[in-house]
Amino acid sequence: MSTALSAPPAVVPTGLSRIYLTRAAFAFAWAVLIAATSTSDTLSAPVFALALLYPAVDLAAVLVDARSATAAGRPTSVLLLNAVISLAAVVGIALAGTDDVGDVVLVWGAWAIASGGVQLVVAVLRRSLGGQWPLILSGGISVLAGVGFLASAADSTSLRPLAGYATLGGLFFLVSGLRLRRTTHHTETTEVR
């Protein structure tokens, strides 16, 4: 019998699938709102608030994830780095202000690159938990999307393109959350027998 087959299953941090599913629901709702409200080259107060809200929610979700990982005895330093990156994005967007859509897109692009890279690393480190391939893809796509946002920032007239970014990210969190839920349910069922 190989050691891979006899190794105990990885312990999934409590609530990780719930964190992922909540992030997916938020991303979908946010995408609808930003697409519906971002209609011109000036940032209205609601659109600006939404631009701030997305990385702020990411920050909160990463901190909840880190707390869950700590409880499961898993390292959190990379997650805490992601929290710092999301906080910097909130501050950067706040400093960009409502004067120029391109400035917000520029900050968003830098955040997408940095947080996507960290998400990629976290998902690779969590491979043994199962359900991480969607987040590995998501992290890589986030980096590429961030590069696209940086390249298009000077010509940006709306934050609507961010809706596609959020929708795709939400889809990856949804798939990963559902896969983790199935893995967790299967592990619990096996332990009961």
Residue 6 resides in a domain: no
Q: If you search the block for the tokens 């706040």, which residue do you land on? A: 94
Tell me: the pLDDT tens digits for 116-155? 999 999 999 988 888 889 999 999 999 999 999 999 999 9
Residue 142 resides in a domain: yes
Q: Reply yes or no on whether the pLDDT at 16 is more than 70.
A: yes
Q: Reply yes or no on whether the pLDDT at 28 is more than 70.
A: yes
Tell me: the pLDDT tens digits for 71-114? 877 878 999 999 999 999 999 999 998 888 999 999 999 999 99
User: What pLDDT does residue 73 have?
Assistant: 79
Residue 1 resides in a domain: no
Q: Reply yes or no on whether the pLDDT at 187 is more than 70.
A: no
State CA 126 to chain mean position distance: 15
The total domain count for the chain is 1
- 154: domain range? 13-192
Residue 17 resides in a domain: yes
pLDDT grade, residue 189 (50/70/90)?
A: very low
